[in-house]
Structure 1
Amino acid sequence: MSTIKQGDKLPDATVYEGKPDHAVKIRDVFKGKKGVLFGVPGAFTPGCSKTHLPGFVSDYDKLTKAGAQVIACTSVNDAFVMAAWGEQNGADGKVMMLADQQQELAKGMGLVLDAEGMLGTKRSKRYSAVIDDNTVTHLNVEPDGSGLSCSLAGTVLKQLQES
């Protein structure tokens, strides 16, 4: 699968929020809404926990003022882990913590990271995207799949302000 690009629709993927039996269609999350979707290689990993998720939580007011109606984080982890990670980082009511348990979203977006050597399995590349009614208007994929050079909250904030 090729990487999703600007102008493409989100895939028809199922993710999970809070617990493994609470399935959510990613297209339902962004249907009729403008927002931010960002993916990380793993909950509780250093870059994701120190910089990536906390940036979106702390910039929540700025992002919503710039037009984001929903902010969602996804990772190839289980729903319990994502919920606990969100709670630890104060994401409740700000960032939806969505578990991509079967890599359905990462595969559908063409953003799978081969992290078997480091994290034991394939994961999601680190990325951020502005989504408008299920259409990708901006996409920022880290060149190495995991670094922190272009997918942070500040980049998406500027893109929201421009659109």
Structure 2
Amino acid sequence: MEWAPVCAEGETYANKCMADAAGAQIEYEGECENYFTKEQAQIAAKKWLEEESPTFKFDGIPGSIKYIGYESYTCFGCFGFTFTFNSSHAGYGNRSGQMLAQAIANHTILVQTRGKNVSYALTDGAFDELRQIFICPAISALIPVCGTDNITYPHPCPAMQAGVKIAYEGECQ
């Protein structure tokens, strides 16, 4: 038998013929790597949240993580897991050196995995945990704010995206 491994539906087959005979859809040539079951991927996503997520790592409250649910995606071995957690200050990411408002902040995070790797993580629909930047949705309402750089922003999100703190609501005077 020819050894020309292919990965099909998360299982390594000796060659394309064997995968075809099993009726398995071939994902790529070579042995399978990084394939996790949904349960394994969920454990990996939670571990990443606890140990790598900048927001949780900074001031997440241990024991506050709750699993909400999951979505399957079209790529084989890809999942999206939703969790909630609490942190002891308002804000996102690593806020070292910033003035912090001490308040319990409730967060919802979507952690997407491909195999054992986290490919995307979005907290509260606003903060990209992997790139550590704010994601501004299409802004439908103008809510002018004055940044600490004395520039008027049309909405708080672009100010936060620029790393500027909001001095007050309204146009700069």
More strand by share: 2
Larger radius of gyration: 2
Shared fold per TM-score greater than 0.5: no
Q: Could you state the TM-score of these two structures normalised by the residue count of structure 1?
A: 0.25
More helix by share: 1
